[in-house]
Amino acid sequence: MSRDVALLNAELVCPAAGTSRGGVLVRNGEIVATGTFEIPGDVPTIDCRGKTLAPAIIDLGVFTIDIPAFHAGGIVRVGLMPDQTPVLDEPGVVQRAALIGRPGLWIHPIAGATRGLAGKDLAEMAMNAAAGAKAVGTGERWIADSGVMRKVLAYAGDLGLTVVAQAEDGGIIGTAVATAGETATRMGLPSAPALAEPLAIARDLMLAEDTGARLHFRQVTTAAGFDLIRAAKRRGVHVSCGITPAHLLLSDIAMTDFRTFTHLSPPLRDEADRQACLAALADGTIDILCSGHDPRGPEEKRLPFADSANGMAGAETLLALSLGMVRDGVITLERLVTMLSATPARILGLETGTLGVGMPADLMLFDAGAPWLVDGDKMVALAGNTPFDGLPVQGKVLRLWKGGTALV
C-alpha cells in the first residue's frame, strides 16, 4: 500500500507553525513538505476542499483498545493505562500490548509503577521501558504509601519517564461512587468529598518537586486541585494534567436520573468545580484533553448506580465535544490541536504531534462544522455508554492517516 500522498487545499493547523492555507506532502510515511510545494508526478493527490488538516489525535490514558472507535474519532496513537488483564507490570506483557494494535494503531503502554498496581513493590521500570513502555502509572488507584510513591517518582525520573498518577486519596474515596453534596445525598449514593483530589495532588506534587520527576495527573476536576497545580507550575515543578470533555460539560446534576452512563472516575463534580475546570482550560492550567475511553456493556451498566462499573465510551466524541470549546471561545483551534497531539506526544516522549517536516504522517482531515447526533446505539465502539447520548454536536473526521497509510 502506498505511503505517498499530496494533500492539497487544506486549512493547516499545526501546534508548532500555527494556522495557514496549503498542503502536506507525504513520502514513505513521513511529512517532507508543507504549505506550497511542487507535486511529484508519481504521488497521488487529494483535494481537501478547504477542510482542516491537523496532526492525528494522541489519546493519553485509555483503558480499552477499540480500534474502530479510535479511527472514528481521529485517534491513531493511544497511551494505554496499566489496568489491563494481566496488569502491564512486566516486560512480556508490555511488549505484547505495544504490538496488538498494528497495523492500524500505535499503542504506547503505560506500565504499572508497582507490581499488580498494588502500591507496594516497585515494578521493573527499566525493563518495561526497554520493552516499549512510554510512561509508568499508578493506574486507576492511588499509592497510599508516600515512601513507595517517592521511590516511584525518583526511579522514573532517573529513567526519563513521566509518572501518570491518579489524583484521588483512596482512604477518603473508599467505595464512593459520587461526589459528596446535594445530588449524592438526594440520590442516597455512597459519596466522598471532592477534597480527596487536592489532598492526593498536594502530596504527589511535593514528592515530584523533591525528586525532580515529571508528573502527569490523568484527570484533575476540582478548583482546589487546579490551584495547587498552578502554584506548582510557577515554582517550576514538572507537572501536567488532563481532563475529559465530560468533566468540562457535565456537573453531578447529570446523575440525577440514576443514569449509570454518568458513573465516571473521577465522579462528576458540582457546578462550581465544573466552572473551575472551564477556567483552568482557558488559562492553560489544563495541558491535555483525553477521552478516558472505557466502553462498558449492559451487563456492567444496567445495574443500580452504586453497583455499576464506572467509565464511558469517549473516543468517538472527543474531537466534536472539544471543538465546542473552540466555538464557545474558551480556547483557540491551535490550542486544541496542541492539547490533542503535541502535548500528549511530549508527555510520552514521542517525536510526533506536529505537521513539521520529518514528522510521521499521522494526520486527520476533519470538518469542524459538520453536524451529527451522538447516538449510543449507533456508535462503532465496543459499547455505546456515553453520557452525551442524544446530544447534537459539530465536528466530524473525514479522513485519517497513520504513517501515511489511509485508515478512514
* Packing angle, helices 223-235 and 271-283, rounded to 10: 30
Strand partners, 364: 54, 400
Mean pLDDT of 204-214: 98
**Confidence (pLDDT) at 400:** 98
Q: What is the dihedral of CA 78, 79, 81, 85, to 10 degrees?
A: 50
Tell me: the pLDDT tens digits for 235-273? 999 999 999 999 999 999 999 999 999 999 999 999 999
> Mean pLDDT of all residues in the chain?
97
| Per-residue model confidence (pLDDT) at position 213 | 98
Residue 131, pLDDT > 70, answer yes
Q: Please say if the pLDDT value at position 2 is more than 90.
A: no
Per-residue pLDDT, averaged over 305-329, amounts to 98
Task: Report in angstroms the alpha-carbon separations of 337 from 15, 16, 177, 350, 390.
Answer: 6, 10, 32, 16, 26
Closest CA to 404 of 11, 107, 25: 25
Q: What is the DSSP string of 184-223?
A: HHHHT--EE-TTHHHHHHHHHHHHHHHHT--EEES----H
Q: Is the pLDDT of residue 180 over 70?
A: yes
Dihedral pair phi/psi, residue 147, rounded to 5°: -65, -40
pLDDT given at position 259: 94
In this prediction the pTM is: 0.97
For residue 329, the tally of other CB atoms under 10 A from its CB is 8
Answer yes or no: is pLDDT of 347 > 80: yes
Exposure string of 92-105, with b = 16+ CB inside 10 Å and e = fewer, is ebbbbbbeebeeeb
Section 171-194 average pLDDT: 97
Query: Cα separation of 245 and 286, whole Å?
Result: 12
Tens of pLDDT, residues 38-60: 999 999 999 999 999 999 999 99
Q: Is the pLDDT of residue 220 over 60?
A: yes
From CA 267, how far away is CA 246, in angstroms rounded? 10
**What confidence score (pLDDT) does residue 1 get?**
54
Interval 354-379 mean pLDDT: 98
Q: Which three cell numbers stand for residue 285?
A: 492550567
- Distances in Å between the Cα of 378 and the Cα atoms of 69, 210, 299, 381 are 11, 49, 18, 9
State percent of the chain over pLDDT 90: 99
Place of cell 491537523: 54
**Average pLDDT of 67-72?**
98
Q: Which three cell numbers stand for residue 17?
A: 507553525
Instruction: Name 118's Cβ contacts closer than 8 Å, sequence gap at least 6.
Output: none
Cell of 204: 504527589
Domains and CATH numbers, the chain: 55-354+369-392 (3.20.20.140)
